[in-house]
A and B are shown apart, each in its own frame.
Chain A
């Protein structure tokens, strides 16, 4: 049961708002069962070929509570299980149903249709890789005589010894080189099995890569196999987190303006 602009009741703008999860094809669109962020019932707002997945939330700022963050993701995932969906960022709220229809779906209509066609049959697979600290450090020390010698010299020295900084700097330089080489090899091998990739900057000292790959859903098994080979080969020094298939969170974007 889709709400449309014409059927939406009198607006109580100050009481509630409409939270948007994603945009999908109206054909086959169904709001997942249960409640959404903040506990309101889930529904769809349809306009032509498009549907927005929405729920009612109390007006005012959204609290990013753990269960709401998880629920947002679940709702998008459930829609994704049977339909193409363009995920919307957490916390996007409109004042009323007809505003979603008029100002979101109508104004961006052509662009949404094009994006939905573009992501038809595609999924995001996400990978995080981090070095096992002791293993990679041992590799660095044993692979570089200069670092090994500095380490011997500083082992008994105090933290204030300037050679400690020198040692750390050499390790950092070496780690960056190793990381660049490994990241290039791994992401190159994965990209061969994907349509597109978004590679992000590592965020912690021992993180090696953080990336998403856009893969045809029917080719996920092939990507799995490639990923498995890499993880097995690198098992002594790198640990991986592998997630998906997800809707294309990392790949969707709207042109600027138009709002």
Chain B
């Protein structure tokens, strides 16, 4: 069945009617919903396998080393020139954010962006 997305093919992000991965299903129906005083609370077997969505502790030496390795692996030569200028503008102040939003909206109406 087609997904009702209220729009045309120009929609950038498609909404899915229900979760697409088992982890997302589990997330929705095991972690959420009404918890009632049932006689049998799930002696759910086999769930560990799908919920290994390990909650990462950001502040750990392991994580730091992974970040360092990932950053060292980056190849910035291709993006460096364009990236630096762009990032200086887009450094996160609120005015730029708002501007970005309007430009995004404009693009949505005028179709695909042009290559500069």
Q: Enumerate chain A interface residues (CB-CB to B < 8 A).
A: 17, 20, 22-23, 61-66, 69-70, 72-74, 76-77, 86-95, 99, 103-104, 108, 125-126, 128, 133-134, 137-143, 147, 151, 154-155, 159, 164-165, 167-169, 171-172, 175-176, 178, 181, 185, 189, 201, 203-205, 220-221, 224, 227-233, 235, 240-246, 249-250, 252-254, 259
Contacts and interface: CB of A to CB of B under 8 A. Distances in A.
B111 to A, nearest CB: 12
Contacts of B45: 61, 63-64
Interface in B5-57: 5-7, 11-20, 22, 24-26, 28-30, 32-47, 50, 53-56
22 contacts: A61-B40, A61-B44, A64-B26, A77-B18, A140-B71, A142-B83, A143-B87, A159-B65, A164-B68, A167-B64, A167-B67, A168-B71, A176-B58, A205-B63, A231-B12, A240-B13, A242-B15, A243-B15, A244-B15, A244-B17, A253-B34, A254-B35
- Minimum-distance CB pairs A-B, first 7: A91-B42, A168-B64, A259-B37, A61-B43, A233-B104, A93-B40, A168-B68
B40 A232 contact: no
Nearest to B80: A142
Nearest to A148: B76
A159 B53 CA distance: 26
B36 to A, nearest CB: 6
A175 B64 CA distance: 11
B79 interface: yes
A64 B20 CA distance: 17
A205 B66 contact: yes
Interface of B: 5-7, 11-20, 22, 24-26, 28-30, 32-47, 50, 53-56, 58-59, 61, 63-72, 74, 76, 79-80, 83-84, 87, 91-92, 97, 100-101, 103-105, 107-108
Residue among B25, B38, B108 with max Cβ neighbours from chain A (10 Å): B38
B13 A242 contact: yes
A155 B40 contact: no
B47 to A, nearest CB: 5
A105 B62 CA distance: 50
B66 A64 contact: no
B40 A91 contact: yes
Contacts of B13: 227-228, 231-232, 240, 242
Given A69-B26, A99-B39, A204-B53, 7 more contacts: A138-B83, A139-B83, A139-B87, A171-B71, A228-B11, A233-B101, A233-B103
B66 A168 contact: yes
